[in-house]
Amino acid sequence: MNGLLLTSKEEKMSIEIMYMAADNTITKRRIIVTSRADNYIKAYCFTRKQKWTFKLESILATVKPAKGKWRKLLSPIVLNRKKLMIQKRPAEASHP
């Protein structure tokens, strides 16, 4: 589990987690980890479309998305309130 969380953070890749909320409901989330502390991670949650804090003890499983859905996002990624904005790289200048 820790390996995929680290990969998500370092490579800016999405992963899927099974998460148990405080009310014991279990949800599947697609996230990109932005930071990690001893007991929790902070991530952009594509399910909720916002930044979210997840307790590590409540993450039941981590998996790569199904084949063909494993995507490396363009960098830099800017997390802006409730939206994930991806800045595209400027087009390369044409040489004569």
Query: CATH code at 48?
Result: 2.30.30
* 86 or 18, higher pLDDT: 18
Range of the domain at 59: 2-86
How far is residue 68's CA from residue 61's CA, in Å, rounded to a whole number? Answer: 20
Mean residue pLDDT of the chain comes to: 76
93 found inside a domain? no
Q: What is the pLDDT of residue 93?
A: 46
How many structural domains are present in the chain? Answer: 1
Percent share of the chain, pLDDT over 90: 39
95 found inside a domain? no
Extract the tokens encoding 78.
């800017």
DSSP 37: -
81 found inside a domain? yes
Residues 30-64: tens digit of each pLDDT: 999 999 988 999 999 998 899 999 999 999 999 88
44 found inside a domain? yes
Q: Is the pTM of this model over 0.75?
A: no
22 found inside a domain? yes
How far is residue 19's CA from residue 3's CA, in Å, rounded to a whole number? Answer: 17
Contacts of residue 60, Cβ cutoff 8 Å, sequence gap at least 6:
17, 18, 19, 20, 26
